[in-house]
Amino acid sequence: MKIGILSDTHDHLLLLRHCLQRFADMGVHTVIHAGDMCSPFMARAFKDHDFALHLIYGNNDGDLIALDRAFAPLKGIHHQPLKLTLVKRRVIVMHQPFYLPEVAAADYDIVIYGHTHQQDIRQPAPGKWIINPGEACGVLSGKATAVVLDLARNTLTRVPLNA
């Protein structure tokens, strides 16, 4: 199973659509967004694809009621931390990395976070990952990025989104 991971799209609908199309072209099954979509209209891009979705709120997601309404048909957005099991792997998704050391030391196989707009890819032990995909909007760093994690092969591919 391939998981597309992104964060911090900050209303950049064009780059979000580009990212989701890249994920589809790469055979991604599940998409995890680690927060800061910002506006309800971002739901439109997700409706064009048939991914299993796991989305969380970030600190810049303002109108939670409107976001809830827009994303309800896509099974909604969740408050952080979001805890999942994907292919027998324990996953935790958070936006801010406030408790990153404690969470990384806990019994999770995959720790995903966003907020910093800086890509952070670490493999502290075989089969374990700490992943910040960077910013999908490319606003602060000038580099729009995402990642694809292949759980079957235990490999990660960095996905540049700048056209």
Q: What residues make up the domain containing 112? A: 2-160
pLDDT in tens, 39-71: 999 999 999 899 999 999 999 998 899 999 999
Backbone dihedral angles phi then psi of residue 160, each to the nearest 5 degrees: -70, 140
Tokens encoding 64: 């939670």
Q: Where are the beta strands (DSSP E) in 30-81?
A: 30-33, 52-56, 77-78
CB count within 10 Å of CB 84 equals 16
What's the CATH number where 136 sits?
3.60.21.10
Q: What is the mean pLDDT of residues 97-116?
A: 92
CB count within 10 Å of CB 40 equals 18
pTM metric for this prediction: 0.96
pLDDT in tens, 22-47: 999 999 999 999 999 999 999 999 99
What is the rounded distance in angstroms from the CA atom of residue 94 to the CA atom of residue 99?
9
Place of tokens 């759980």: 151
Give the count of domains, the chain. 1
Under 8 Å CB-to-CB from 17, ≥6 apart: which residues?
45, 48
Instruction: Determine the 3-state secondary structure of 79 from DSSP.
Output: coil
* Backbone conformation region of residue 145, classed left if phi is above 0, alpha if psi is from -120 to 50, else beta: beta
